[in-house]
Structure 1
Amino acid sequence: MMKSLGALLALGLAGLQFLAVLAVVFSSYITSQKALLDQARDLLRDVGANTVVHSQGFLNPAEGAAQLAARLAQNEVVASDDQQRLEQLLFQQLQITPQFAGLYYGNEDGGFVYVMRSPDEPGVFRSKIIAISAEGERSTRLIWRDGDFNILRSQLDPADRFDPRTRPWYIKAQAERAIIWTDPYIFFSSQQPGITLAAPVFEVEHGVRGAIGVDIEISMISVFLASLNIGSNGKALIINSNGDVIAHPDQDLIKTATDEGGLRFADIREIGDPIARAAFGPLAASGSIPVAQETASEFVYEGNRYVSNMMPVISEKLPWTIAVYAPEDDFTGVIKRNRAMNIWLAVLVAVVTAIVGLALADFIHRPVRAFAVRTALISQGEIDADAPAPKTYRELERANEALVQEIVARHAAEREYGETFNMSSRGMAQIAHGSGNFMRVNQRFAEILGYDRDQLIGMRFADLIHPDDAAPFADSGILTKDDFVLNRDLRCIGANGEAIWVTVNAITILDQNGKALHAVLTMDDITQNRHAEEQIDRLNKDLSHLARRDTMGQMASGLAHELNQPLTAIAQNADSALVLLDRQGGGNPELRDILTEIEQQSLRAGDIIRALRGFIRKDEFPPKPFSLEDLLKQMCYLVRAEASDARVTITTSLPDDLPRVVANRVQIAQVLINLLRNAIEAMATQPDAAPREIGIAASASEEFVTVCVTDSGPGIAPDLNLFAEFETTKAGGMGLGLSICRSIAGNNGGSLWLDDSVSRGARFCFTIPVYQPKVTPLQD
Structure 2
Amino acid sequence: MKKSLGASLAVGMAGLQFLAILLVVFSSYVTSERALIRHARDLLRDVGINTIEHSKGFLSPAQGAAELAAQLAQNRVIASHDTPVLEQLLFQQLKMAPQFAGLYYGREDGTFVMVMRSPDGRAEYRSKIISIENGKRRVELIWRDATFAEVGRQLDPTDTYDPRDRPWYVKACKERRTIWTDPYIFFSSQQPGITLAAPVLHENGRVRGAVGVDIEISMISEFLSRLNIGQHGRALIINHNGDVIAHPDASLIKTRSADGTLRFADIRELGDPIARAAFGPLALAGALPVQQETPSQFDYQGASYVSTIMPVISDKLPWTIAVYAPENDFTGVLKKNRTLNIWLAVLVAGLTGLIGLALADYIHRPVRAFAVRTALISQGELDPDAPLPRTYKELGRANDALVQQIVARRKTEREYGQTFNMSSRGMAQIQPDSGRFIRVNARICEMTGYSARDLTQMRLRDLFHPDDPTFVGAIFNTDDSDFAVNREIRCIRKDGSTIWITLNEILIRDEHGKPLHAVLTMDDITQNKRAETQILQLNRDLSHLARGKTMSQMAAGLAHELNQPLTAIAQNADTALLILNEQPDGPPPALHDLRTILAEIEGQSLRAGEIIRALRGFISKDEGGSTALDLAPLIEQTLRLVQAEATEARVGLQTLLDPDLPPVRGNRVQVAQVIVNLLRNAIEALAPDPAADRRVILRAARDGGMVRIAVEDTGPGIAPGINLFSQFETTKSDGMGLGLSICRSIVEANGGTLWHETLPGRGSRFLFTLPVHAHG
Q: What is the TM-score when the length of structure 1 is the normalising length?
A: 0.47
Q: Which has the larger radius of gyration?
A: 2
Q: What is the TM-score when the length of structure 2 is the normalising length?
A: 0.47
